[in-house]
Amino acid sequence: MRRALALVLLGATLAVLAGCASRSGGYYKDDGPGRDIPADIAAIPDAVPRIERHAPANFRPYEVFGVRYLPIGENQPYRQEGVASWYGRKFHGEKTANGETYDMYAMTAAHPTLPIPSYARVTRAGTNRSVVVRVNDRGPFHPGRIIDLSYVAAAKLGLIGPGSGRVIVQAITNADIRAGRAPGTPILASAPPADTARAQPVNLPAAPLAPPAPVPAVFEGPQPGGIYLQFGAFSSAQNAQSLAQRVNIEAAGQAGPATVAHHPPLYKVRMGPYLSRDEAAHTAARLAESAGLNPVIALDQGL
């Protein structure tokens, strides 16, 4: 991506790479989420594929760190499985490879060879959680990683806590768009307007493994600001309470209770507040590993 290319041209040295389990989660050790995280990340819609013009320069071969890359054609099928990472505040507001401004809260991604701009469906392996992103940057240039997702795209796939994860990347070509087809089927990671699709996917079993937990009460009105783990947002209080009840069964009390907060017009299922984003990310990673839960980090400013 342009951020890495610029570093090469300036002769700068890359920052120390973060491990896959780093709590900051980003491609670089000093990367991480921003200060003003949208309160309802799960409701941010997927990118909508459309035919876009490509500058001829975007198809030219290029070289980074001694590796030569050859961008593929706009109608060339592409499917690859590998590790995805994400990039956040370190590059928020910087220029992407095609001259746009990187927005960590937009559904975008960086890829070394897909056309820019173009679209791709990214599915987290083993879960069928899926998002559609707009590729507008180059990278990642890290051995073993095939795509860099924006913060919000990674959050919707449950990759913020772990920092990286195995995904399947499928190109949505111009030919696909003209024919009205796209590979794969979006699951709950996408956020269409339907109420039931606003929930963050949590991989819960069809039936509880323990006696039913009490139905959580609904907290009305603004709550004190803070950092939370959010599992879903609904227009129905009953749906939110049902999800909170099931989350509490799966979490088995290991991270505090899931509660329902009414921030009109939505009822939000969440845990917290936490003292820092690192504490929230650590808890999210623990819940993902032990209970298969994948909340996103949300900042509540008491609005």
- Per-position DSSP letters for the chain, written without gaps between them: -HHHHHHHHHT--PPPBPPTT-SS-BSBTT----SS--TTGGGSPPP--------GGGGS-EEETTEEE-PPPTT---EEEEEEEEE-TTTTTSB-TTS-B--TTSSEEE-SSS-SSEEEEEEETTT--EEEEEEEE----STTEEEEEEHHHHHHTT-TTTSEEEEEEEEE-HHHHHHT--SS---TTS--SSGGGGBPP----SS-SSSPPPPPPEEES----EEEEEEEEES-HHHHHHHHHHHHHHHTTTT---EEEEETTEEEEEEEEESSHHHHHHHHHHHHHHH----EEEEE---
For the chain, the C-alpha Rg in angstroms (whole number) is 19
CA distance 113 to 95: 18
pLDDT of residue 213: 59
**231 and 293 in contact (C-beta within 8 Å)?**
yes
pLDDT of residue 84: 93
pLDDT of residue 114: 95
**89 and 33 in contact (C-beta within 8 Å)?**
yes
CB neighbours of 207 closer than 8 A, spacing ≥ 6? none
Joined tokens for residue 6: 């610029």
Residues of the chain with pLDDT under 70: 1-36, 38-39, 90, 182-213, 221-225, 289, 291-292, 301-303
pLDDT of residue 34: 58
Shortest CA distance to 59 belongs to which of 98, 100, 109?
Answer: 98
CA distance 185 to 123: 9
pLDDT of residue 137: 93
**54 and 128 in contact (C-beta within 8 Å)?**
no
Q: Which amino acid is located at 97 in the chain?
A: A
pLDDT of residue 120: 95
CB neighbours of 103 closer than 8 A, spacing ≥ 6? 92, 93, 150
Characterise 44 by phi-psi region: left (phi > 0), alpha (psi -120 to 50), beta (else). beta
pTM strictly above 0.85: no
pLDDT of residue 119: 95
**161 and 115 in contact (C-beta within 8 Å)?**
no
CA distance 145 to 163: 12
